[in-house]
Amino acid sequence: MPPVVSPVRSDEQIKKDVVDHLYVDDRVDASDVNVEVNNGRVVLTGNVPSCMARRAAGDDAFGILGVRGVHNQLTVLKSVGPLLSDEVIQANAKSVLEWSSDVDASDIRVNVSVGTVSLGGSVVSYWQRTLAERLVANIGGVVDVDNELTIVPTGDVSDEMIAENIESSLRRSPCVSVDDVVVKVAQGVVTLSGTAPSFPALCCVREIVQHTAGVRDIGDNLSIADQ
């Protein structure tokens, strides 16, 4: 099945859809969010009440047809809601990670400075690295997350096997043609290049790579095909 190619859409159409989507998303207070679009690339500025809302707004913009990229410059207002100390945020972050049945938090270090959470140490897979960041980002009082977790896989997966598994997954995906994506792997680091027909398709490729066993890091040079 060939990938679906997005139709050409004007910046005005894209902006209207992004704004409309932000206002119907109950996770995002869009009253102080500004949206600008230039050649399909969205820039979000303004203020939101939480780190979760900031990420949700970015995800909303990513999902709009015709979007070629998103630059999320939204600022999280610490003054919204109860003011939590860094010590309380740190304790909450550690608890959330320890309570998760999907993340091995035994080698994760958590530090907090002025609401910004820094994650250090290691996890066993790339998707756990992403999940740990998402879990911490949803905690009250967090304004940003600096994810410095490294990946230490429990098993030995060769670069050839990682590349083969990614390419096989891409062949099974309806959102992108494997012939348009170049996958290179060196010491567990996956480098992606080539094109995807749309931003949602590009995100689909990233999801496939993130959930592939043995991946230690991702270098993403994918671009959106000219529409």
Question: Is the pLDDT confidence value at 207 over 50?
Answer: yes
- pLDDT tens figures, 108-154: 999 999 999 999 999 999 999 999 999 999 898 898 999 999 999 98
Question: Is the pLDDT confidence value at 197 over 90?
Answer: no
Q: Could you count the other beta carbons within 10 Å of the beta carbon of residue 123?
A: 24
Handedness of CA 7, 13, 19, 20 (dihedral sign): negative
108 and 60 in a common domain: no
Which of 12, 5, 77 is CA-nearest to residue 40?
A: 12
User: By CB neighbour count within 10 A (0-12 exposed, 13-18 middle, 19+ buried), where does 202 fall?
Assistant: buried
147 and 165 in a common domain: no
139 and 99 in a common domain: yes
218 and 191 in a common domain: yes
Q: Does residue 2 form part of some domain?
A: no
Contact 29, 50 (CB under 8 A): no
Q: Does residue 120 form part of some domain?
A: yes
- pLDDT tens figures, 44-70: 999 998 888 999 999 999 888 888 889
Handedness of CA 199, 71, 135, 218 (dihedral sign): positive
Q: Does residue 81 form part of some domain?
A: no
DSSP-derived letter for residue 108 is: E
Q: Does residue 181 form part of some domain?
A: yes
d(CA 226, CA 67): 11
Q: Does residue 201 form part of some domain?
A: yes
Q: Could you count the other beta carbons within 10 Å of the beta carbon of residue 25?
A: 15
Single out the residue in 133, 151, 169 at which a domain terminates: 151
Which residue range is the domain that position 36 belongs to?
Answer: 11-76
Number of structural domains in the chain: 3
143 and 167 in a common domain: no
Assign residue 42 the CATH number of its domain.
3.30.1340
69 and 17 in a common domain: yes
What pLDDT does residue 3 have?
Answer: 47
120 and 64 in a common domain: no
CA distances from 90 to 49, 53, 80, 84, 112 (A): 19, 20, 19, 10, 6
Q: Does residue 128 form part of some domain?
A: yes
| Arithmetic mean of pLDDT over the chain | 90
Single out the residue in 128, 151, 174 at which a domain terminates: 151
